[in-house]
Every structure is written in C-alpha cells, then in structure tokens.
Amino acid sequence: MTADSAPSRSVAIATNNLECERHIQYFSTIERYFIANGWKVVTDFRADLVVVCACGFHDAMYNKVCHTLAGIRESGQREASVVILGCLPKTHAKDLADSFRGPVIPYGQEEALDRLIGARVPFSEVQAPHVFRPQEERPAEPASKAFFHIRIAEGCLRQCTFCVINKAKGALRSTPSKEVQRQYRDALAQGYRRIFLMAEDTFAYGLDIGTTMPELVSSLLAMDSDVELHFGSLHSRWLVAYGDSLVEWCRRGVVRHLHVGLQHVNEDILSRMGRPARIAEICAVLRRIKEASPAVVLSADVIVGFHGETDEKFAELVEFMKKDTLFDSVSHFGFSDVKGAPSFEFDGKLNPLLVARRWDILKDVLGPRSYYNRTEDADDGYRKAYQATFNNDYSFCRHTFVGP
C-alpha cells in the first residue's frame, strides 16, 4: 500500500461499540483520517482494507470481534488486509494473538497505521471530530441541539477492580486548561451550547497538573455561562468531594442531568470494587441537588452479582431501590468476569444464572425507572445505539463525523 495508490482504494471501518462517546470519537477520527488520505469509505468487507475499531471493556466485546473476523473471512477477505485498532489490542492482547494473524495496532500507536497505508496525512495531524454520530442513518442535529465534545483527559486513577480499560488508556493525563478553554471558545463561536466534557474519569481532571474539575468549569463559565454542560458518568467519590460545586451548577441550570456511577449500595461490595463510598453521604449530596433544582435528571449505573454479593447484600440494594426517590433512571448490569481485571482473581463468584435472576428482580423492582423498561424514548439515538451494540457483532462506520 503506497500513498500513490491510496486514492483509488476503499476501506471498510467496523466497530463493536456504538455507545461510548469516546470510542465513537475514535472511530470517527479514523474515518476522517482515511478520507484525508484519499480513501473511499464503504460498507463492504470486500474493500481493499478492513479496519476494526475494537472496544475492549469486556470479554463480550472480544467475542464480538471474533464473530466479526469470522464474517470477514467468509466474505473472502484476506486476514492480511484486516487491521484491528483500539483498546482491545491491549485489553485482550493474548487472546487476540491466539486468534488473529493480521496487523494489530493498539490505541495510542496509530503512527503504525501511517506506515501501513503510506499515509500522506499522518494520524497525528488529523483533528478528532468534536461533533459526531454513531450511525450513518442518524440525522445530523443543528448546532443548537447537538453536543460539542471536548476531550479533557485520557486515562484514569486505575482503581476499579472490575475494569481493564486502564490497560489501554493508562494513567490520568489531563488536557491543559488553556487548550480546553480554546476548544470551548470554538464551540461557542460555532453556535454550540451543549458542551460535553469527556474523559474516562471526568472529575479526576487536573489531579496530575495541579488543578481541579471545579476550577476548570469555573473558568469556562466565566467566559460564557449560557450553556448546558454534560460530563458522562460521575464517580461517586467526586460527587461527594465536589458536592458544593455540583449543587451550584445545577441551581444555575448549567447542569441539567447527572449520571452517577453508583454501582452498588453495600459498602463492602463497593470496597471490593475499588470504589469505597458511604451511601449516606452520596444521598445527602443528591438531595441537595434535587432541592436546588428539582428539574435536574439523576440517573445511575448499578452492578448486580459482583463477587461476594450475598443474598443479604443484594437485598440491601433491592430495599434501597424500593425506597429511592432520587434517581429518575437506572441502568443495571449483571456482573461477569473480565480476564485481566484484578477482580478476576477474587473469591465469592456467583453462578451466572443467579446473577441473571438478580438482574430480573431489580428490573421488576425499578419498574419504569429501569432503563430496560422504558418505552417513551424508544426512538432516541442512544437507545438505537445501545440496541445495535447489544444485538450486533459489528456496525459499519461511515459519515460518522459532522463538519469538514
């Protein structure tokens, strides 16, 4: 593959995850990169090159890639013309080495892709899109409604015992405040008012560069506060640590939705997850937020069936959700092991059938608050992305970014 021949070549870009906004930005950047180098993006595995942008947050994602590779082989495509990119090459390196012999390029090492295709425009010079969509058929939204995404950090504090993404993303690396402010000004200049500040652990921002998330947000709002800020999942430790700031932003209407990574309510389980917290402190902050701004939407992630979750500890979670009046929506997940995560070595593992039964019980307890019982937003973009990710091994990526 050479730069001279690239303009006549075609590339099919596929992914196993349409839900994570950071992953969507990644594969939309890959699409922009190939277009900048004169390639035609198609939705056919018989293209000159197939690129699989592979999320690796769970073993199920690895299985999806295996099924996708089988489909690629059935199309007649040579393995040498298939490239696997993203987090999976780091989170599931050994498994991938055993099942795939083609080129593998881990997240953060995309200069290898430059050499592979003889790029005229190197990956390092391609700007990651700020506005993107997971699926081609999803219409682009006007600036007044669309989210403008600003990547404020990479990596995390690497403390969650059930997670392997830190293997791909590494330690926390915050974007300098001045650069975030520049991108914020660009968003406003282009007419965007819904700003998504994203990272693996958004509110850990600044701990490595001598600042904090509240200081960053304050500097942005000082420039222009006629905005709606979104943060992705909020680790409960930051909810408590930065409660005063969150209450104030909600009171001002700058923040209208908070999604809390609650994960559980039993403190022993939370400690085993590497997320120690006191539920009473979390609820106290959430009540203050609701009092300051009753219209704020509060949602949460919860995991059932983590190692060591006894009947009594699960009952504690169920009782909490029965009495809860704070969360408007709950996304609940049945835990399953991920090879390579610290928790993979833990004792107290539950039978998968028991985990599934507990998931069903919680779904019934939550009623309309369960994300999986909701019907009123059946046509929203996020739900379609979730269904596509859940139901399909892969989706093609084309026309995923908005703008030049």
Q: Identify whether residues 135 and 120 lie together within a single domain.
A: no
| 94: its two tokens | 């050994």
Domain assignment of residue 381, yes or no = no
Residues 140 and 124 in one domain: no
The H or E element that residue 329 is part of is strand 329-334
Query: Which helix (DSSP H) or strand (DSSP E) does residue 197 occupy?
Result: strand 194-198
pLDDT one-digit tens code per residue, 228-278? 999 989 999 999 999 999 999 999 999 999 999 999 999 999 999 999 999
**CA 186/CA 403 separation, integer angstroms:** 13
| Residue range 37-60, pLDDT digits in tens | 999 999 999 999 999 999 999 999
Cα–Cα dist 184/182, whole Å: 5
CB contact set of 65 (below 8 Å; sequence gap of 6+): 16, 52, 54, 84, 88, 96, 393
Its domain, for residue 263, covers 234-373
Least confident of 7-21, 77-91, 265-279: 7-21
CA distance 65 to 58: 11
Q: Are residues 40 and 101 in the same domain?
A: yes
Closest CA to 96 of 80, 109, 85: 85
Cβ-based burial of 257 (10 A; exposed 0-12, middle 13-18, buried ≥19): middle
Residue with tokens 């791909």: 168
Percent of the chain surpassing pLDDT 70: 94
Residues 185 and 110 in one domain: no
Domain final residue pick, 128, 149, 165: 128
- Looking at the structure of the chain, the number of domains it has is 3
Q: Please check whether residues 11 and 47 belong to one and the same domain.
A: yes
Which helix (H) or strand (E) is 356 found in, with range?
A: helix 352-366
Please report whether residue 315 resides in a domain.
yes
8 Å CB contact between 266 and 309: yes
- CATH number, residue 316: 3.30.750.200
248, 211: one domain: no
Q: Assess whether 119 and 142 both reside in one domain.
A: no
Nearest to 131 by CA among 52, 87, 187: 187
Q: pTM of the prediction?
A: 0.93
Choose between 142 and 32: higher pLDDT.
32
* DSSP string of 217-266, one letter each residue: HHHHHHH---SEEE-SEEEHHHHHHTHHHHHHHHHHTS--EEEEEEE-S-
pLDDT band at 134 (very low <50, low <70, confident <90, very high): confident
- Confidence class of residue 6 from pLDDT cuts 50, 70 and 90? very low
Count of CB atoms within 10 A of residue 256's CB?
15
Chain mean pLDDT for the chain: 93
Instruction: List, for residues 353-383, the tens digit of each pLDDT value.
Output: 999 999 999 999 999 999 899 765 544 555 6
